[in-house]
Amino acid sequence: MADMKKMDKAEVMRASGERVWQAVRDGRAVKDPSLLNRFLALIYVDLKKYTFCYWYGFPAARLPEEVTVTQPPRRLDDIFDDEWLTQLNAAYAAIDTPEKRAAFLVVPESSSGDLEIRPLEELPALIGSRFFLAFSDPSTSTTHPGWPLRNLLALVVHHWGRLVSECDVLCYRHEARHGRVQSGHSLVLSVHLGGNFVVADGKDGVPGFVGWERNAAGQLGPRSVDLSASLDPARLMENALELNLQLMRWRLAPTLDLETVASTRCLLLGAGTLGCSVARCLVSWGVRTVTFVDNSVVSYSNPARQSLYTERDCRDGGRLKCDAAADALRAVSPAVTARGENLTVPMAGHSVPDRLEIHVRADVEKLEALIAEHDAIFLLLDTREARWLPTLIAAAQRKIVINAALGFDTFLVMRHGVVGESGPDDSEKLGCYFCNDVVGPADSTRDRTLDQQCTVTRPGVGMMAGALAVELLVGLLQSPLKGRCPAFGTTRGGTGDNETEASENPLGPVPHQIRGFLARHMYMIPACMAFPMCTACSQPVLEEYTSRGWEFVLQVLNDAAYLERLTGLSRLHEETDLDQVWALSDSEESNS
C-alpha cells in the first residue's frame, strides 16, 4: 500500500499517454482504433482482509482551446428515422473485428442508398459528403460524451486537420430492450476542430494527458471495496447464521431483538459437559463473545459427552479445557470472539494456607474483573460451594446470572434475581441458587472417594440443561427489564400469572427456575423471592463484601460457618433445636 501511495501518478499517466500518441503518429491507431482506448489500474489487495484498493486512469489527450462543441448535444433518434437506426444497429453488429468497433465512420446516404459503416482510413475519400465520425461511447451521461472522444479527435486533427475543420460526431450507445437493440439515445455533437493540431502543455511533441478517476468523494484518489462478505469464509458463515436467525424474526417473531443477544458478552464458569453445551447453543443464537473459565485438562473420558473436545485434545496429558474449548468454538464459528482463562475459582469452606494467600487473592481479583467485563454469567461448576463466590460478586455488580446444576436424571436451570435501584434489601428481587438453603456452603468433597466426587448423570441431561440455560438467557434479554424481569408464575411482590410480560416477550414468559425430572419426563417451574438470610445475596453478606472485600472472602474460605453467623442462620438453627427440645419435653410429660 505504501508503494502505491509513493508512485508518481503524473509520470505513470504521461508514459501511458505517450504510448497512445505514438500509435497516433505512426498511423497504427487509424487501422486499429482500439489503441486509442488504453487504461491504467493501480491495485492493492489485502488477501487476509479481502479488501481491494484501486485507482483507474484513462489517458485522454488535452486538446487545444480551438477544439470546441458548437451546439448542444442532440439525440440520435431526433436525426435518424427508425429505418436508419435499424440499419445502423445491423451494420455495427456486422463489424468483423471488435477492434474496429472502437471508432468508425457512419455514412447515412451511401452510393447504394443504404446506411453504411466505413473504416477510419476512408475519411479523406468522404470529404465533401455527409458522414459522422463515430465511436463506441461507454458514457451514460445524457449531456456529455465518454473519454475516448478526446483521443479520437486528436487522431483526426493530427492526420486530417487541414482537410476537416468541422464534423459531426456520433457517440454510439446501444442497449437491448424487450429483445431489440436500441440506439436512439446516442448523442450527436457538432465539433469545430480548429485546423492543425497544436500540442497542449506537452513535451517532445507529445500532448499532455489527463484521466485519473475521482473517488466517491469527488477527489482525485483511489477507491476501496470490502469483499470480505463475499469471499471471506468466516464472513460467509457469519452471514449464513445471521440469515437463519433473521428468518425467525421475519416469519414468527417480528419483535425478536437479535442485536442485543449478539452483543451480550457471556462468561462461562466451567468448561465441562454443561459448558460445552451452553457454548454451542450460544453460538447458534449468534452470540459473538464467549469466555471460558476452567482449571482442568481434557481427559479421555470427556470427548464423548463434552462436544467441544476431540481425542487429539487428550494427548500428552491433555490440553487445558478453557483453551481447547475456545479454539473449538472459533472453529465452529470463526466470527466468535472466544478466549480461555485458566483460573481456579476459590470455594467457601476450602481453607487457604498462608503460602497460597497471594495466589488465591489474585484469582479472586481476576474473577471480579472477568465478571465486571461480561454481561451474563453462567455458573456451570461441579460443586455447590464453587458457585458461592461468583454468585456473590455478580450480585454485588448487578449482573445477570444463569445457573445450571445436574443430578443423575434431574437438573436445575435458574436465573438469579438482580438487585434493583432501591438497594440490596429490594423486596421484589428473585432468589439465587443459595436462597433455598438454610445451611451455608461447605466443602462437599471432604471424606468422599474419587467416584463420589464425580458428577454421574445421564448423557442427555447435560445437553437438555445447557440448552434451557441459554434459552432462559435469550428470553430474559427480550424483556425491557432484562435481569429485573418478573418470573412467570409471579408478579412483583406477589403471585399470579404475569400476562402482560408474557404478551410483550416474543419468546413467551420467562420462568425463574426450570426443574427437570427425566425419569418422569416432566418439568416444574417454581419461583421464589430472595431469602433475607441467604449466604450469597442477602443484604448483610453484600454489605460485608462491599466494605471488607478480600478480607471477608478469605474469612469465608477458611470458615464457611461464618456465613451462617453473619446472616442469622446459626441463630435460626438454635431456635429450631430448642423447639424440638420443648416438643420432646411436652411429650415426656404427657406420657408420665
CA separation for the pair 591, 285 (Å, rounded): 67
What local confidence, expressed as pLDDT, does residue 54 receive?
92
Domain final position from 189, 206, 226: 226
Q: Residue 410 forms beta bridges with which residues?
A: 517
Whether the per-residue pLDDT at 327 is higher than 50: the answer is: yes
Query: Are 262 and 195 in the same domain?
Result: no
Count of structural domains within the chain = 2
Helix axes 9-25 and 148-160, enclosed angle (nearest 10): 40
Residue 584 within a domain: no
Is 417's pLDDT higher than 80? yes
Residues 203, 324 within the same domain: no
Tell me: do 30 and 81 sit in the same domain. yes
Which of 161-170, 226-235, 407-416, 532-541 has the weakest average pLDDT?
226-235
Range of the domain at 555: 236-577
Q: Does residue 408 sit in the same domain as residue 542? A: yes
Query: What percent of the chain has pLDDT above 90?
Result: 51
More confident call, 332 vs 47: 332
In a domain, 115, yes or no: yes
Q: How many CB atoms are closer than 10 A to CB 466?
A: 27
468 in helix, strand or coil? helix
- 178, 205, 226 - which closes a domain: 226
Range with lowest mean pLDDT among 175-189, 459-473, 572-586? 572-586
For residue 119, being part of any structural domain is answered with yes
> Rounded to an integer, what distance in angstroms lies between the CA atom of residue 167 and that of residue 148?
16
Decide: 383 and 441 in contact? Cβ < 8 Å. no
Inside any domain, residue 585: no
Residue with cell 492526420: 159
Are residues 26 and 59 located together in one domain of the fold?
yes
105: in domain: yes
Out of 14-23, 94-103, 341-350, least confident range? 94-103
Active site residue 454: yes
List of residues 6+ apart from 543 with CB closer than 8 A: 424
* Confidence label for 195 from pLDDT (cuts 50, 70 and 90): low
For the ranges 209-223, 304-318, 512-526, the lowest mean pLDDT is seen at: 209-223
Which among 218-227, 288-297, 349-358, 525-534 has the top mean pLDDT? 288-297
240/221 same-domain check: no
Interval 37-66 mean pLDDT: 88
The answer, yes or no, to whether residue 494 has pLDDT greater than 60, is no
The answer as to whether 590 is a domain residue is: no
Choose one of 173, 203, 226: the last residue of a domain: 226
274 closest CA partner among 373, 196, 382, 118? 382
pLDDT of the residue at 202:
53
What residues contact residue 65 under an 8 Å CB cut-off, 6+ apart? none
Among 41-50, 156-165, 582-591, which is the least confidently predicted range? 582-591
CA–CA distances in Å: residue 501 to residues 416, 418, 483, 529, 530: 18, 17, 13, 18, 20
* CA distance linking residue 510 with residue 482, whole number of Å: 10
Listed residue (542, 162, 531, 557) closest to 350, CA to CA: 557
Q: Is the pLDDT of residue 500 over 60?
A: no
Catalytic pick from 454, 528, 534, 537?
Answer: 454
Q: Are residues 251 and 215 in the same domain?
A: no
Q: Please check whether residue 588 lies inside any domain of the structure.
A: no
b/e 531-548 (16+ beta carbons within 10 angstroms → b): bebbbbbbbbbbebbeee
Q: What burial class does residue 47 get, using C-beta atoms within 10 Å of its C-beta: 0-12 exposed, 13-18 middle, 19+ buried?
A: exposed
Contact 267, 370 (CB under 8 A): yes
Task: Specify burial of residue 318 (Cβ count, 10 A radius: 0-12, 13-18, 19+).
Answer: middle
Per-residue pLDDT tens digits for 352-379: 999 999 999 999 999 999 999 999 999 9
* pLDDT of residue 462 exceeding 70: yes
- Location of C-alpha cell 475459582: 345
Residue 583 lies in a domain: no
413 and 518 inside one domain: yes
pLDDT recorded at residue 199? 53
Residues 294, 210, single domain; the answer is: no
- Position 355 scores a pLDDT of 93
Query: Does an H or E element contain 314, and which?
Result: none
**Which residue, 439, 435, 441, is CA-closest to 389?**
441
Same domain, residue pair 176 and 252? no
Q: What is the pLDDT of residue 315?
A: 94
Please give the pLDDT value at position 293. Answer: 97
- Average pLDDT of the chain is 86
pLDDT of 378-415, one tens digit each? Answer: 999 988 899 999 999 999 999 999 999 999 999 999 99
Give the domain CATH number at 21: 3.40.140.100
The continuous run of DSSP H or E covering 385 comes out as: none
Distance CA 279, CA 271 (A): 9
Q: In the chain, pLDDT over 70 holds for what percent of residues?
A: 89
Among residues 338, 402, 345, 347, which one has the least CA distance to residue 368? 345
pLDDT bin (cut points 50, 70, 90) of residue 514 is very high
Q: Does the structure show a pLDDT above 50 at 585?
A: no
pLDDT at 314 over 70: yes
Do 257 and 178 belong to one domain? no
Q: State the cell numbers at 79.
A: 436525426
Q: Which three cell numbers stand for residue 69?
A: 462543441
Whole-Å CA distances, 269 to 48, 247, 320: 33, 31, 14
Contact in structure between 29 and 38 (CB atoms under 8 Å) = no
- Residue 592 pLDDT: 37
pLDDT band at residue 232, thresholds of 50, 70 and 90?
confident
Maximal C-alpha separation, the chain: 146
Residues 558 and 432 grouped into a single domain? yes
Contact yes or no for 103/135 (Cβ under 8 A): yes
Residue 472, domain CATH = 3.40.50.720
Residue 23, amino acid: A
pLDDT in tens, 142-167: 889 999 999 999 999 888 888 888 88
